[in-house]
Amino acid sequence: MAVPFTHHYTILSQVKEQEARAYYIRLCANEHLSVDALEKAIKNDEYSHKGALPNNFDDRIPSSKLARKAVMAFKDEYFLDFINTEEIGIRDEEDIDERVVENAIVHNIKEFIMTFGRDFTFVGNQYHLEVFGKDHYSDLLFFNRELNCLVAVELKTGAFKPAYLGQLTTYLRILDDQVKKDHENPSIGIVLCKSADKEYVEYVIQDYEKPMGVATYTLPEEMPEKLRNALPDIEALRKILTKSE
């Protein structure tokens, strides 16, 4: 698909590096971005964050081509600019509960999928998994058409801990045994936490058998002022979160 002139002009005027320009041109062609969506992607510096996710995909996904696709399907950092915790009465970052973030994502799932990337389909939240009489609940479950696999996302409001990978490994094992279809590829897991040391993650993740990665997220009050222009209606979000408590 041809990229419109206005998109080319936006890219040439706002992006200086040649490789970055080529990336945004391909992004527009593949995802049919509007000019507003393109400008948001440039402001969020998606070029720098694509493919930078610390992961074990190369070692745990048999096909090198599929492993590369998996690397490029995720970013190392996501800007959740549709969640305004200050306006819903949360003043201290430590008081932000994982379920609050999860509920805001679920009720703004279109925005989250646009942030997360192309070809994702939402399956459910708190997805029930049971094995040997033990109940487990995956925070967010997606299916990626390009990767042809389930993607389990675990939300954590603090810094990365290796224990999160163990928890996610259990979910991926059950998903592959009970939910994955025969024609689908093995499930992938993503820990989405508040902060993470990439070198530390890459060190500890290599011994886990399931394909996993660790990304971080930023809330709007932590972003530069120029990025705070895509927030949802605050009153509506407050009502959503109140109903889910």
User: Which candidate, 86, 51, 80, 92, places its Cα nearest to that of 198?
Assistant: 51
pLDDT at 82: 66
Same domain flag for 176 and 232 = yes
Residues of 177-209 as b/e, b for ≥16 C-beta within 10 angstroms? eebbeeeebbbbbbbbbbebeeeebeeebeebe
Same domain flag for 21 and 95 = no
Mean pLDDT of the chain: 80
- Write phi, then psi, for 136 (nearest 5 degrees): -135, 150
Same domain flag for 85 and 192 = yes
pLDDT at 89: 45
Same domain flag for 181 and 69 = yes
Q: pLDDT tens-digit profile of 38-55?
A: 787 777 677 665 667 999
The mean pLDDT of 80-107, rounded to a whole number, is 62
User: Which candidate, 92, 19, 29, 103, places its Cα nearest to that of 8?
Assistant: 29
Angle between helices 35-43 and 5-14 (to 10 degrees): 20
Same domain flag for 234 and 145 = yes
Same domain flag for 13 and 104 = no
Same domain flag for 73 and 182 = yes
Angle between helices 109-116 and 98-107 (to 10 degrees): 100
Same domain flag for 102 and 210 = yes
Same domain flag for 31 and 93 = no
Q: pLDDT tens-digit profile of 220-240?
A: 655 445 434 433 344 443 444
Same domain flag for 75 and 23 = no
Same domain flag for 31 and 119 = no
Q: pLDDT tens-digit profile of 138-169?
A: 999 999 999 999 999 999 988 999 999 999 99
Report how many domains make up the chain.
2
Same domain flag for 65 and 154 = yes
- Structural domain harbouring 11: 1-43
pTM comes to 0.71
pLDDT band, very low/low/confident/very high, at 90 (cuts 50, 70, 90)? very low
- CATH value at residue 116: 3.40.1350.10
Write down the residue that tokens 């201290």 correspond to.
92
